[in-house]
């Protein structure tokens, strides 16, 4: 089930990156960690099935899979002999100014109409060129790539009350074509700071590139790999929101991130070095000073050619960037949760309801600042306003009445009556505890989990001890799973129940006057 869910998610990413972000099949292949042939096959299947982007929300993963792969696969065409280009000539012409592989392929097709298609032409040329062992200078296209990384140096922040100094990480971003640079000090290198820095960088540039190239930070990459890096789910959601791709640099390949390495070095020299003698008492104060130095850096004339980073940005990158979306990205975390028998999932010790038909199934839970959303195979099945106050008290419930079954007899045979009957098999005190727990909740189903926990204690302590513990709980009016568990753990169930006088004597103390004092 998990593999099928990941496969359908990748198909959705392929369609999004191809038709929304405008990436080539080769770039999509790198971004989603799939072979080029697989990407082309998915695109062909989508065209054949009439599936367009955006995918209609009513199409869940099962329906999308049937639309794409329900038809019988056509037999592969027979291989034909086609003329192979002269790669030496292609390589020589490709080095000339203004010449692209697309142009060279078009000339090849004019000469040989039955020749290979562009994807084969480009892939085989690059395979041939790698054998030359020639280190070629990277060519960055306008608006294509944004390189991001944390610098090695940090920004000292002094606590104005204690004088303690903390080190704030220094985030740097640079566009490929113009080297136009963004930098800021962040609270830490955790995921919220990482995503927030990305959002501010895109707003600084006023647009979105096709590709963002990070180094392999643990905060955004769950598994660093040269061929198939795994991105953190929130990072992927950020990319989907802005319509771009995340393609991490290959491990131990500094040329993949040379642009940001140089930008980090320049930012350390022209920003941090100039601010080394200043004392900052907050991140806001530090970033104001960083912003002033950053503006001067971007306006400074380049030594490698005419103009500045700002002038190159206005001429090259700005016109090529995609517009920002209307709404800013809302940070959220994801988790996988199994729906409990009370048709709720747990978030920060608080429980939110889902349709009761999903009991026992795995769902994905998206938790943002204000909402809790539950997804089943890419379809949203529940949405709640997040209750921060209730989350501070463990064991609470947020229940949508529409998620409740009309008849609890249809609800996997779990009913309050069944739980009470089960309690009577243990003894009358156990049944009384179960009844009181179910009666104390706004919806009886909210007490199912506590009742099941009590029943499971009988596996460890046997039914006689559980009944004795429940008798003590009834005497103490302690109707909860934790109270009964504590009684059993401390062996109090094996001691005689205290009478009212003994219980009162335990509360007597030398410093307590008592009622007789006021007679």
Q: List the structure tokens of 357.
A: 């038909």
Q: What angle do CA 59, 61, 66 make, to 5 degrees?
A: 80
Condensed to tens digits (0 to 9), the pLDDT of residues 86-95 reads 887 787 677 5
Residues 128-138 have a mean pLDDT of: 55
Q: Do 192 and 152 fall within a single domain?
A: yes
3-state secondary structure of 149: strand
3-state secondary structure of 191: helix
Confidence (pLDDT) at 332: 87
Number of other CB atoms surrounding residue 383 within 10 Å: 13
Q: Is the pLDDT of residue 46 over 90?
A: no
CA distance 410 to 374: 23
Residue 242 pLDDT grade (very low, low, confident, very high; cuts 50, 70, 90): very high
Residues 2-25 have a mean pLDDT of: 78
Q: List the structure tokens of 186.
A: 């962040």
In a domain, 344, yes or no: yes
CA distance 166 to 202: 27
Q: Is the pLDDT of residue 138 over 60?
A: no
Residues 183-201 have a mean pLDDT of: 92
In a domain, 480, yes or no: yes
In a domain, 338, yes or no: yes
Q: Do 277 and 155 fall within a single domain?
A: yes
Q: What angle do CA 286, 239, 242 make, to 5 degrees?
A: 80
Question: Which of 4-8, 130-134, 279-283 shows the highest mean pLDDT?
Answer: 279-283
Task: Please give the DSSP secondary-structure letter assigned to residue 70.
Answer: S
3-state secondary structure of 34: coil
Residues 426-440 have a mean pLDDT of: 86
Q: Which long-range contacts (CB under 8 A, 24 or more apart) does 462-465 make?
A: 463/425, 463/426, 463/427, 465/493, 465/494
461, 487, 497 from 494: Cα distances, Å: 11, 9, 9
Residues 30-57 have a mean pLDDT of: 83
Q: Do 122 and 172 fall within a single domain?
A: no
Condensed to tens digits (0 to 9), the pLDDT of residues 270-292 reads 888 888 889 999 999 999 999 99
In a domain, 154, yes or no: yes
CA distance 256 to 241: 25
Domain stop point among 349, 377, 409? 409
Place of tokens 């020749």: 115
498, 506, 513 from 510: Cα distances, Å: 21, 12, 8
Q: Is the pLDDT of residue 161 over 60?
A: yes
Q: Is the pLDDT of residue 408 over 80?
A: no
Q: What angle do CA 453, 457, 462 make, to 5 degrees?
A: 150
Look at the chain and report how many structural domains it folds into.
5
Nearest-10 crossing angle of helices 2-19, 25-32: 150
Query: CB of 251 within 8 A of CB of 224?
Result: yes
In a domain, 510, yes or no: no
Number of other CB atoms surrounding residue 254 within 10 Å: 10
Residues β-bridged to residue 98: none
Q: Is the pLDDT of residue 397 over 70?
A: yes
Q: Do 298 and 179 fall within a single domain?
A: yes
Q: Over 278-325, what HEC string results?
A: CCECCHHHHHHHHHHHHHHHHHCECCCCCCEHHHHHHHHHHHHCECCC
Confidence (pLDDT) at 235: 87
In a domain, 139, yes or no: no
Place of tokens 């007679």: 519
Q: Do 29 and 164 fall within a single domain?
A: no
172, 273, 384, 387, 466 from 153: Cα distances, Å: 11, 10, 42, 39, 60
Query: CB of 205 within 8 A of CB of 312?
Result: no
Residues 91-117 have a mean pLDDT of: 79
Q: What are phi and psi of 166, to 5 degrees?
A: -115, 155
Domain stop point among 409, 440, 462? 409
Residue 505 pLDDT grade (very low, low, confident, very high; cuts 50, 70, 90): very low
Q: Do 125 and 153 fall within a single domain?
A: no
Number of other CB atoms surrounding residue 198 within 10 Å: 25
Q: What are phi and psi of 382, to 5 degrees?
A: -160, 150
CA distance 251 to 215: 8
Least Cα distance to 432 among 419, 440, 423 occurs for 423
Confidence (pLDDT) at 136: 37
Contacts of 497 (CB under 8 A, 6+ apart): 471, 472, 475
In a domain, 180, yes or no: yes
Picking from 5-14, 163-172, 294-303, 486-495, which range would have the lowest pLDDT averaged per residue? 5-14
Domain stop point among 374, 393, 409? 409
Between 225 and 163, name the one with better pLDDT.
163
Condensed to tens digits (0 to 9), the pLDDT of residues 295-345 reads 999 998 887 667 888 988 898 888 889 999 999 998 888 888 899 888 888
Q: Do 242 and 380 fall within a single domain?
A: no
Provide the mean pLDDT of the chain.
80
Q: Is the pLDDT of residue 6 over 80?
A: no
Query: CB of 35 within 8 A of CB of 49?
Result: no
Beta strand residue intervals within 136-215, DSSP E: 145-158, 165-175, 181-185, 211-214
Q: Is the pLDDT of residue 208 over 90?
A: yes
Picking from 35-39, 70-74, 236-240, 309-313, which range would have the lowest pLDDT averaged per residue? 70-74
Q: List the structure tokens of 159.
A: 């606590």
Place of tokens 């993949």: 256
Q: Do 300 and 202 fall within a single domain?
A: yes
Residue 168 pLDDT grade (very low, low, confident, very high; cuts 50, 70, 90): very high
Q: Do 32 and 171 fall within a single domain?
A: no
Domain CATH for 255: 3.30.420.10
- CB-hemisphere CA count at 13 Å for 491? 0
The pTM of this model reads 0.58
Question: Which of 88-92, 129-133, 387-391, 480-484 shows the highest mean pLDDT?
Answer: 480-484
Confidence (pLDDT) at 45: 84
Q: Is the pLDDT of residue 106 over 70?
A: yes
Q: Is the pLDDT of residue 223 over 60?
A: no
CA distance 215 to 260: 9
Residue-number span of the structural domain to which 464 is assigned? 415-505
CA distance 239 to 155: 28
Query: CB of 98 within 8 A of CB of 104?
Result: no
Q: Do 164 and 104 fall within a single domain?
A: no
Q: Do 173 and 271 fall within a single domain?
A: yes
Least Cα distance to 379 among 397, 366, 398, 368 occurs for 366
Element (H, E) at 258: helix 258-267
pLDDT above 90 covers what percent of the chain?
A: 15
Number of other CB atoms surrounding residue 361 within 10 Å: 14
Handedness of CA 24, 27, 33, 35 (dihedral sign): positive
CA distance 9 to 108: 37
Query: CB of 164 within 8 A of CB of 179?
Result: no
Confidence (pLDDT) at 513: 45
Q: Is the pLDDT of residue 217 over 70?
A: no
Least Cα distance to 212 among 236, 185, 183 occurs for 236
In a domain, 360, yes or no: yes
Q: Do 303 and 338 fall within a single domain?
A: no
Query: CB of 85 within 8 A of CB of 108?
Result: yes
């Amino acid at each position: 089930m998990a593999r099928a869910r990941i496969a359908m998610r990748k198909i959705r990413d392929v369609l999004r990156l191809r038709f929304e972000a405008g990436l080539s099949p080769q770039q999509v292949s790198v971004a989603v960690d799939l072979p080029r042939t697989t990407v082309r096959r998915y695109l062909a299947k989508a065209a054949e099935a009439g599936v367009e982007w955006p995918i209609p929300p009513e199409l869940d993963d099962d329906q999308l899979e049937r639309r794409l792969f329900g038809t019988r696969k056509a037999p592969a065409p027979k291989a034909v002999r086609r003329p192979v280009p002269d790669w030496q000539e292609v390589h020589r012409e490709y080095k000339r100014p203004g010449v692209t592989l697309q142009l060279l392929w078009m000339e090849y097709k004019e000469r040989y109409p039955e020749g290979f298609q562009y994807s084969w032409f480009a892939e085989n040329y690059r395979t041939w060129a790698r054998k030359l062992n020639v280190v070629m200078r990277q060519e960055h296209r306008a608006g294509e790539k944004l390189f991001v990384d944390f610098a090695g140096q940090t920004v000292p922040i002094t606590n104005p009350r204690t004088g303690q100094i903390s080190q704030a990480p220094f985030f740097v971003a640079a566009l490929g074509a113009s080297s136009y640079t963004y930098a800021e000090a962040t609270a830490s290198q955790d995921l919220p700071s990482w995503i927030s820095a990305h959002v501010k960088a895109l707003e600084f540039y006023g647009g979105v590139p096709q590709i963002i190239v990070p180094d392999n930070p643990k905060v955004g990459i769950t598994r660093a790999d040269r061929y198939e890096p795994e991105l953190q789910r929130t990072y992927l959601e950020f990319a989907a929101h802005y319509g771009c791709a995340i393609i991490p640099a290959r491990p131990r390949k500094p040329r993949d991130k040379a642009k940001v390495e140089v930008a980090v070095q320049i930012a350390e020299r022209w920003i941090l070095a100039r601010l080394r003698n200043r004392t900052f008492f907050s991140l806001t104060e530090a970033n104001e000073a960083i912003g002033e130095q950053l503006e001067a850096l971007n306006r400074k004339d380049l030594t490698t050619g005419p103009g500045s980073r700002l002038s190159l940005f206005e001429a090259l990158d700005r016109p090529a960037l995609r517009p920002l979306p209307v709404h800013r990205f809302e940070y959220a975390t994801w988790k996988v949760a199994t729906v409990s028998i009370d048709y709720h999932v747990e978030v920060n010790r608080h429980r939110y309801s889902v349709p009761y038909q999903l009991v026992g199934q795995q769902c994905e839970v998206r938790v943002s600042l204000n909402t809790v959303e539950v997804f089943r195979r890419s379809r949203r099945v529940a949405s709640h306003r997040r209750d921060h106050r209730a989350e501070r008290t463990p064991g609470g419930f947020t229940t949508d009445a529409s998620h409740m079954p009309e008849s609890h007899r249809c609800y996997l045979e779990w009913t309050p009556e069944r739980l009470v009957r089960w309690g009577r098999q243990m003894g009358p005190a156990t049944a009384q505890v179960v009844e009181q727990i179910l009666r104390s909740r706004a919806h009886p189903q909210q007490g199912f989990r506590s009742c099941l926990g009590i029943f499971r204690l009988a596996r460890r302590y046997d039914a006689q001890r559980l009944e004795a513990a429940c008798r003590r709980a009834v005497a103490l009016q302690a109707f909860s799973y934790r109270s009964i568990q504590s009684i059993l753990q401390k062996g109090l169930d094996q001691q005689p129940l205290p009478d009212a006088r003994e219980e009162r004597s335990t509360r007597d103390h030398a410093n307590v006057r008592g009622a007789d004092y006021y007679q």
